[in-house]
Structure formats: C-alpha cells, structure tokens
Amino acid sequence: MFNIVKGTHDVIQAEAQRYSYIEEVMTNVALNYGYKEFRTPVLENSDLFIRSVGDSSDIVRKEMYTFEDKGGRSITLRPERTAGIIRSMVNAKLFANQDYPVKAFYVGPNFRYERPQQGRYRQFNQFGVECAGASTIERDVETIALGYTMLKVLGFDNLKLKINTLGDKESRENYKAALKEYFSKHIEEMCGDCKERFKLNILRILDCKVPEDRPIIDKAPKIGDYLTEEARNRFEKVKSYLTALEIPFEVDSELVRGLDYYSGIVFEFHYTASNGNNYGAIGAGGHYGNLISEIGGPQIEGVGFAFGIERIAKVMEDDSLFPELANGVDLFIMPMGEKAVEFSFGLAYVLRNLGYSTEVCYEAKSMGAMFKKAERREATLALIIGEDELNNNMITIKNLGTKEQTQINLQDLQSYLDNFFDIELESADDSECCCHHEGHEHGECCRHEGHEHGECCQDDDEHEHHCCHGHGHCHHEE
C-alpha cells in the first residue's frame, strides 16, 4: 500500500465526472466571450514566478515546489497560471501578430506547499481566464461578468462578490506611506509574518488572519482615502457598470490579494453553502498593469481570474447544485455460452460504432447475476444472446425499465434501436432535453422549451446554457 502524497487527492469516477461538468460549463461560457484555450506546461523556470508573483509573496517565499533539474536549471511546478499564460503569449509573439486583447482560458493543476486543510490542497485545479492587452474599465467589468456568469450557469445563487481597488501607482505609493506610518507604531505587538510583511510588502499585512492582529489592522488607513482622482473615478465607474449589469457586489477595502502583480481592480467570489461550509474564496482575480512587460511583452495591461475547481465542486455538492449526470449505458449484452460470447464481442464493437454505449457481460454465468449487473450498470436495454438466438439469427431484448421483453431478427436490430431511442428521448421528462446519438457534437441539438428534436440551440440567446452529457443525453439548466 502506498499512501497518497500529503495535501493531494484523487479525483475518480463520479467526482471526476463532476469536475468535467464544471469545466465544460465554464468552457462554454468562455467560448461565448471569445476566449481561446491555452495549454501551457506544468514546469516553468523558477524566475518566471519570482519576477511576476513576486519574491515578497507567500507563494514565492514559502509555497513553491522548486527543484534543480539534471541540467542544473531551477524549475518550479507552477503555483498559478497567469504568469505562464502571459509567457506563452510573449513567446508565441501574439502581441505582435494578433489584435488586442488576446484572450486565453485554461484549466489544469497547480502546486503550492500550503498547510493542507479544508478546501486547501497542495495540488489543486483551476479554471481561469486572462484578457491581455486590456486597459479599459469595460474589460475589467466584462471579466468579472464572465466569472459571475459561469457561476450563475452552474446554479450558484447568493454569491458574494468582493471588490476593491489597489489604485494606480501614485495612489498605492501614498497609501503604502500611510500604512508604514501607522503600522510602525504597532508592528512590535504583531505576529512574525506581519513583521516580515512590514519589511517586504506592507499591503499584505491587511491580509493577516491572526485574530490578535485584527483590531490593529481594522483601524489602519483605508485605500479609498488615498486614491488619486483618476483612480477614484475608475473605481466608481466599475461600480456603476456592475450595478447596471445587476451583479451584486460589496466593497472590501482590505482585499489586497496575495500575488504581487495586481494593480487597479481586484475581486474575489465567495459562497457559503447552506450547511455553513465555506472553503475560502472560490475564485479570484484582478487587473495587472505591469506583468506583461515584466515578462518581456509590450507595456500593455491585462485582467483575469481563476476559479478553484475543488472548492466549487465541494460547495456544489453541499448544496446539491449538480444535475444528474448520465451514468448508465444504453445496452447491456448478456451472452449465454461460449459461442454467444464470441458473437457478442463483435456485436458490441458494431453497436458502439453506431453510437450506442454498450457493455458486455463476460464475467457472469447465470442470467440472474447478469441482470443484477445490468441494473447496477444502469442499462436501458438488455440484449440477451443464447444458443437459440444464435441458431435462429434472433436477439432477445428486455427493456430494463418496463421489464417488457421482445424477440427480433438480428438484421432489424439497428432500426429497432434507432426507433426505440428516438421514442425514449421523445418521452423524456420535462427536466431533461435530449440529444441525438449519432454524429451530433456536444450541445448541438436539443428539444427543450419549444425546440424541435435535433434543432440547434447552442447559439440561441435563450438557450445558450444547454449542455450535453455522456452518450447523447442532455441536461438543461438555466
């Protein structure tokens, strides 16, 4: 027995299906906002993160998985994605060859050597976006709206969106000077981390969670009082846009974020499940003014965010926000005898190629045991093939829902199945819509709410949130 590495977790079976569902919903919304997928390496040169996330951040100081490779290079398992995504854009010369903004979405694992606790892992997955070459307020708010929409489509209500501004350079310098003056009077009474932050990056003191430090921090100067007129106007405009889009938010003047590349607007999404569980921010991001040029790109700005898939999956489970995800197979073949096994082996190949998800029971000998397995596999139809059937070119079909049984000629099997599954889908209940089996792409067809079977609904405004699962079944969520 080998134990799993501390702070990591296996995502298997139903849980993996739920992760895929979250990623699929987010991908569809990102595509809808004009983002393209980026896949960058898990391994990056350590300097990338030291430069971008910042050597005064907790991530770089304490949490990176850094090692020397056999060629003597310092390599780090990415602790976050923004730096690597921007690096890939610079390396591919996208800023020279493509219109701004360049929009990327991404999904995959990150690594941070943090203290494992509820909702905090050492390997965790993020789904995120970067909108690079974007300095306007509209892009900032559009990015927040994108994240908000993803969560709404997943079924989240009562989201808490916290926003703050770190202002422009001048605002930040003035504010840091005010914090320095204030904390210099209190720092001796504060925790070791705060003492270090006082020297390295005073803004990060505001993030301290040590209860004894909170009364001091709560009385510290607020960024709002140090904003230049331009930074203040920008923040006001962000707020008025969010109000216009009816996206609820609250201003949290202590929100500073743990990565050093932010400037301007920063935000976090929070959600508390009805059982009181709260795993920390489910997603977070902000505007970055200098990151792109620091990584070797032009002097352009960007904005982005990342969601923590683990945290989102956990609260969705707590609040039963997941739809029923297709789990069963269409067909369960039950061969009786050696010849039937051989025949079923070939038949399954043909049926799967026709688009029917199919399982063959090679592992049980008795009918009773096979039916039990079919039930556990949530099969729709059982195809029974015994000696009689083989001799007469027939096949016995049992509907495992209604228990009706019928015998048909083998040559009629395809038309029987096509017909059966058409009717099956026609009569699907109202909470489901349906998709055809063969040849249809994900989300392509659906017949919910006035849509005819097979009609495309993906680009239809009203139905943009339909998505499909597994073998041709489709789930409908608003």
Q: Would you tell me which residues interact with ligand HAM (CB under 6 A)?
A: 80-82, 112, 114, 119-121, 124, 126, 128, 130, 258-259, 281-286, 304-306, 308, 310-311
Name the residue nearer to ligand HAM (CB basis): 256 or 282.
282
**C-beta of 63: minimal distance to ligand HAM in Å?**
8
> Closer CB to ligand HAM, residue 269 or residue 371?
269
Residue 305 or residue 421: which is nearer to ligand HAM going by CB? 305
Q: For residue 52, give the nearest of 81, 72, 89 by alpha carbon.
A: 81
Name the residue nearer to ligand HAM (CB basis): 44 or 310.
310
CB of 144 to ligand HAM, least distance (A): 11
Q: Report the nearest approach of ligand HAM to the CB of residue 112 (Å).
A: 5
Residue ranges of E strands in 170-275: 250-251, 265-270
As a whole number of angstroms, the distance between CA 468 and CA 214 comes to 47
Distance (Å, whole) CA 355 – CA 439: 8
Contact criterion met (CB below 8 Å) for 117 and 333 = no
Minimal distance, residue 241 CB to ligand HAM, in Å: 19
Q: Which is nearer to ligand HAM, 117 or 353 (CB)?
A: 117
Residue where the block lists tokens 């926003």: 163
> CB under 8 Å to 341, separation ≥6 — which residues?
335, 362
- List Cα–Cα distances, 48 to 42, 61, 83, 300, in angstroms: 13, 14, 7, 18
Q: Cα separations (Å) of 354 from 341, 348, 396, 413?
A: 20, 10, 19, 11
Nearer to ligand HAM, 54 or 285 (CB): 285
Give the nearest distance from C-beta 458 to ligand HAM in angstroms. Answer: 27
Give the residue from 392, 391, 378, 395 showing the smallest Cα distance to 332: 378
Nearest distance, CB of residue 190 and ligand HAM, angstroms: 23
CB-nearest residue to ligand HAM: 308
- Closer Cβ to ligand HAM, 288 or 343, answer by number: 288
Contact predicate 146/267, CB 8 Å = no
- Closest contact distance (angstroms) between CB of 245 and ligand HAM is 20
